[in-house]
């Protein structure tokens, strides 16, 4: 009876079992590595997008008086401008430019998204003691899955203010 137990059939079954388990472990490891790489790459890209948007918003834009050149409800008038909310002196923002971007975003959000060079959705808030401006789409209204946020102290109209820039998406970074 003992000789029959260690027959070639049992040895062959054990070898197949070990190969199967090893293959499954290898596939599992590769899939989790790919998921981590894709997720990390997506978050990194989102972070870079956020940093570029913040930098662009603090710039003057082009031309420096772009807000007087555009008409908020005419996307065609937006074509030759680069949006920047700054007035050329560090973190000071122009209230006229902030109001212009807010009106443009309210008119055609998708056009402002491509104009700002944002590959994800965006939401900008600027708060002073007396005003609260919102530009873009609020991520909480759209069940955002991932957000990258930067907070900055700024000056608007000679008053201290707080600017928050959010780049967000409601799609997953996992392997599909």
Domain boundaries, the chain: 9-169
114 token code pair: 């491509």
Ramachandran quadrant class, 158 (left: phi over 0; alpha: psi -120 to 50; beta: rest): left
The reported pLDDT for the residue numbered 33 is 53
For residue 171, pLDDT beyond 90: no
Higher pLDDT, 100 or 170: 100
Distant-in-sequence, close-in-space partners of 22: CB < 8 Å, separation ≥ 6: none
For residue 86, pLDDT beyond 80: yes
Query: CA torsion sign, 15 to 17 to 18 to 19?
Result: positive
The whole-angstrom distance between residue 136's C-alpha and the CA centroid of its chain comes to: 13
For residue 13, pLDDT beyond 80: yes
Percent of the chain with pLDDT over 70: 88
Average of per-residue pLDDT across 41-46? 79
């Amino acid at each position: 009876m003992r000789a029959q137990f260690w027959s070639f059939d049992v040895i062959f079954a054990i070898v197949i079992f070990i190969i199967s388990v090893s293959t499954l472990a290898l596939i599992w490891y590769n899939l989790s590595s790919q998921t981590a790489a894709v997720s990390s790459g997506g978050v990194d890209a989102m972070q870079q997008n956020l940093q570029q948007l913040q930098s662009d918003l603090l710039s003057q834009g082009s031309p420096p008086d772009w807000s007087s050149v555009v008409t908020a409800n005419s996307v065609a008038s937006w074509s030759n401008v680069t949006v920047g909310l700054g007035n050329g002196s560090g973190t000071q923002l122009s209230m006229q430019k902030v109001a212009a971007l807010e009106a443009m975003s309210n008119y055609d959000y998708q056009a402002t998204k491509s104009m700002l060079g944002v590959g994800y959705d965006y939401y900008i808030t600027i708060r002073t003691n007396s005003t609260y401006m919102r530009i873009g789409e609020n991520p909480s209204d759209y069940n955002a899955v991932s957000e990258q946020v930067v907070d900055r102290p700024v000056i608007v109209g000679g008053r201290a203010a707080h600017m928050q820039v959010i780049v967000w998406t409601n799609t997953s970074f996992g392997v599909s």
